[in-house]
Amino acid sequence: MSGTTAIRAAALVAMTALAAACQPTVEDRAAPAGEPTAATTPSVTAAATPSATASPSRVTAANTAAVCAEVDKLIIAKSQEIAADSAAATRRQLTPEQINEQVKTDLADLADGVRGQAARAEDPEIKALVADAAQRIDAGARSSTPVKWLGSTFVEIPQRLTRECHA
């Protein structure tokens, strides 16, 4: 992969991930404006069988929302940084190896930030989900071809978090 192609690929992947993180969920898109979604409509089953584990406590739900929002912010900010770094790499005429090292550093930083949010999570399911995302991002940072990893694996991480990381 040439340096210019690698830069364009990294920028495209970063912007794709950024866009994916900001997309509404399937439930949000399916409901007409003003109508409740599956996420806001109470489940008859849940109401009929209350238990201590059926829904997170108010404290956990608030913490979950904060953790999920912070993970989103981290991913968006780092995606923007990767895109900006990729554009700057063109001007500086970096080699593909230099670009890969830069992307590895960015991914390692992102994994550390996401791991920090996993440690904050009070809900065990959210803690596991966010920790898994950090491990996956770490795998990208260790990849021999992190730009390719961005295009094949990274784009799935924000999409999964959008679907599953919520109170």
- pLDDT category at 62 given cuts 50, 70, 90 is low
Q: What distances in angstroms separate CA 23 from CA 16, 17, 20, 72, 109, one per listed residue?
A: 11, 10, 5, 12, 24
- 88-126: string of b/e by CB count within 10 Å (b at 16+)? ebeeeebebeebbebbbebbbebbebbbebbeebbbeeb
What tens digit of pLDDT does each residue of 77-115 get?
A: 999 999 998 888 878 888 888 989 999 999 999 999 999
Domain ranges for the chain: 3-49+58-164
The continuous run of DSSP H or E covering 111 comes out as: helix 96-120
pLDDT (average), residues 3-19: 49
Model confidence over 26-60: pLDDT tens digits?
A: 344 344 444 444 443 333 333 333 344 445 445 55
Rounded to whole angstroms, the Cα distance separating 75 from 71 reads 6
pLDDT at 10: 52
d(CA 149, CA 14): 11
Q: What's the half-sphere exposure (Cβ side, CA atoms, 13 Å) at 138?
A: 10
Rounded alpha-carbon distances, angstroms, from residue 11 to 41, 115, 125, 165: 38, 24, 32, 25
Q: What residues contact 103, with CB distance under 8 A and at least 6 apart?
A: 10, 82, 85, 146, 147, 150
What tens digit of pLDDT does each residue of 139-154 get?
A: 999 999 998 999 899 9
Q: What is the pTM of this model?
A: 0.68
